[in-house]
Amino acid sequence: MRISACYIVKNEENNLPKSMNSLASIVDEIIVVDTGSTDKTVEIASSFGARIYKQIWRDNFALHRNFALQQATGDWIIFLDADEYFVNIEGLDVYLQRADRFPACEGLLLPLLNINPDTDSGQPELIEKVLSLRVWRNKKNYRFTGCVHEQLYVSESGGNMRPLKTIVAHDKFTLHHTGYRRGVMKEKHERYLEMLLAEMAQNGEQPLTARYLADCYFGLGDYEQAAYYASRAITREQQLGIVTVAGYYKLYRYWLEAGKKLCYTDKKLLSIAEKAITDTVKEGNGQAMYQFIDDLFVGTGLISER
């Protein structure tokens, strides 16, 4: 069994060494698609023995990710961003050898901690812990769609698309993601928003477009648009029967926090909060939602004792 590591990168000389170091011991090849680096990114990737392919950036993450997948020859893919790294990867190759015997397992969800390293205290700030698809079988019909926040799908006969069948990997294989630095988030949100709006103008609203627009607008402080798209994403995904790994927790957080800043009436906020608890309990995030609501409305008298 062989393992391929894949990256798409641009000017990642500060992040790439740590990321590649964290997985180099278990992978058989590293595929790097570089979209125009002007720093030492390519040299660093070469020092790890990576096969490097240079492409002009096309405002479409899925396009470049799929190109990287086409170059991979391993049985399994590990696909990381340059600002992600394994805290401990020892034994993941053995874990995959076992998973390889079960065809129903198409991919692994890994625990991923989103971290802001740039804090006043000097101690990294934990933003959130999520499950993220970063490892999957190398199959020609597993491909990404979406220009931003691209999703991996299985293409089936008749043109049907479905998410991969996944299992949750052991907690020891945790990833850290340091892309939440204060200095880069605003730029990311602006860039992603521009790409999403262009894609929507060309191809219409896709099933998850509203979710990603809510994320961008909230990050940019446009709370009116954030609230609109968060509520739209929840309604639209429920109507379409879409189930995502992220669930509804973050969307309700955006909606409630934006609503408070926009001075929604107590009645409206309470209605959203009640719906948030109902929906997040179903996905296993009910306690976190309770805590968020308590913290958000402490001292307002809006939320009574449970």
d(CA 295, CA 265): 18
pLDDT at 129: 85
Both structure tokens of 276: 């948030």
d(CA 297, CA 64): 43
Both structure tokens of 209: 């477009």
pLDDT 10s per residue in the chain (306 long)? 999 999 999 999 999 999 999 999 999 999 999 999 999 999 999 999 999 999 999 989 999 999 999 999 999 999 999 999 999 999 999 999 999 999 999 999 999 999 988 777 778 888 888 889 999 999 999 999 888 888 899 998 887 888 899 999 999 999 999 987 766 788 889 999 999 999 999 989 988 999 999 999 999 999 999 999 999 999 999 998 888 878 899 999 999 999 999 999 999 999 999 999 999 999 888 898 999 999 888 766 666 544
Q: How many CB atoms lie within 10 A of CB 168?
A: 11
Specify the residue for token string 């597993």.
Answer: 142
Query: What is the tens place of the pLDDT at every residue in 134-180?
Result: 999 999 999 998 888 888 999 988 878 888 999 999 999 999 999 87
Specify the 3-state DSSP secondary structure of 242: coil
d(CA 233, CA 196): 14
How far is CA 275 from each of CA 249, 271, 279, 283, 298, rounded to the nearest angstrom? 11, 6, 6, 13, 19
Query: What is the tens place of the pLDDT at every residue in 81-106?
Result: 999 999 999 999 999 999 999 999 99
Q: How many CB atoms lie within 10 A of CB 180?
A: 19
How far is CA 42 from each of CA 118, 170, 173, 176, rounded to the nearest angstrom? 26, 32, 27, 23
**What is Dmax (Cα atoms) for the chain?**
60
Q: Which residues contact 242 (CB under 8 A, 6 or more apart)?
A: 207, 208, 236
